[in-house]
Structure 1
């Protein structure tokens, strides 16, 4: 009897869709908890990650096996990010009014976020590979992984840093914005999009349509700027070092 149960469990756990279903189930549980409480600490990304870490550890799954099983979800990150262009289109006229402030905010904010991250990590003793892994932490996962690989970082670890950045942004971002008395929808959205990419944008959309549009704009422009300028900056820095 025990042997039959063990064999049945092995068949279920070995199915290609088991880990995919486990991931979706954990996220749905986190989403239900967040919708019921509306507390940032119960954000579905944070809750689902905690659940999956515990379950995968208890079930004995290696990360490589899990990554291969959920690859369809990773592929969908691209179309999901592109779909954020919808609120951009709906608020295009207002976005045009803030063209130069948006450009300057992206350039200065992106530079500050990258430089301060590298300085803190360097002060804490991080080596060059870790610095290059941390550098693209403020952009969405597909871009961060690609950039990290180009500049000598670890793509998988870069995705982990992106995830933590995305979770911490909605957790502390709205509170900090309220403390700083920032209520302008465009500024609110830009701050969330630049610091917490797609997860921050989803939080901004909850706040309002304009906040969501500017958050999606900030996330998109910062991602493009990072992909183009960060490898160039690292190359120049290493050449001069």
Structure 2
């Protein structure tokens, strides 16, 4: 059985889709924020892979087809942004300042924690791109000499946490402005946070989509600068 699964071209895709589908069903039924479909699918896939004794390379090879959908899915995020273009132009200065503040807060928090916990430099630069999309974050981490595999894991965890607690944090700090909520989610938790922003509303989703791209570009520049601070 193990050999069959390892050699299967669609084992990874099938397990991933089943896990995500189960996560969606649980989220719809129980309405709890921590029942995030992506988080559920990650736990499900890890459990199945370990139970079946399938190595990671075999799973990755059979799940790579899902990665092909990442680019068109990201491009589709431009649609809600285009629909809110008038609102964006009207609040351009506030939007720019909000994204810049979010990027600086992300990089600054990693720098502070590195000092507090005495992290090695390679671990420090590994964490710097934690809040940007995986495609950009991997390149930043590799360029700075970080551990790319850990960077990917950290980016996913950051996104899931943002998706789970993002709305609650906005309510806690009484942030009701749709533009502010969208920018916060997109800047701090990239595409996974944007999925939550789209659930919250069209404006939130559009602003979050914009934040992903702009925050990614700013982090590429900012991470190079912050890497020299520690």
Of 147, 157, 172 in structure 1, the residue corresponding to residue 140 of structure 2 is 147
**How is 1:210-229 mapped onto 2 (pairs within 5 angstroms)?**
210-229=203-222
SS in structure 2 at match of 1:70: helix
Q: Secondary structure at the match of 1:40?
A: coil
| Residue of 183, 193, 198 corresponding to 1:190 | 183
- From 23, 30, 40, give the equivalent of 2:16: 23
Q: Secondary structure of 1:42's partner?
A: coil
Structure with the bigger RCO (C-alpha within 8 Å, sep 6+) is 2
> TM-score if structure 2 supplies the norm length?
0.93
Specify every segment of 5 or more residues in structure 1 that has no aligned partner in the other structure, as ranges. Answer: 1-5
Q: Structure 2: which 5+ residue stretches go unaligned?
A: none
Per the alignment, residue 3 of structure 1 pairs with: none
Q: Distance in 2 between matches of 1:12 and 1:136?
A: 34
Q: CA deviation at 1:126?
A: 1.8
Q: Please, what TM-score do these two structures have when normalized by structure 1?
A: 0.89
How far 1:38 moved relative to its partner?
2.3
Report how far residue 187 of structure 1 moved. 0.5
The reply on whether 1:78 has 2:66 as its aligned counterpart is: no
The runs of 4+ residues in structure 1 deviating greater than 4 Å are none
The equivalent of 2:197 in structure 1 is 204
Instruction: Tell me the equivalent position of 2:114.
Output: 121
After superposition, the CA RMSD in angstroms is: 1.7
How many pairs does the alignment contain?
Answer: 230
Conservation of the 8 A alpha-carbon contact between 1:122 and 1:131: no
Q: Distance in 2 between matches of 1:90 and 1:137?
A: 29
Q: Answer whether contact 2:7 2:58 (CA < 8 A) is retained.
A: no
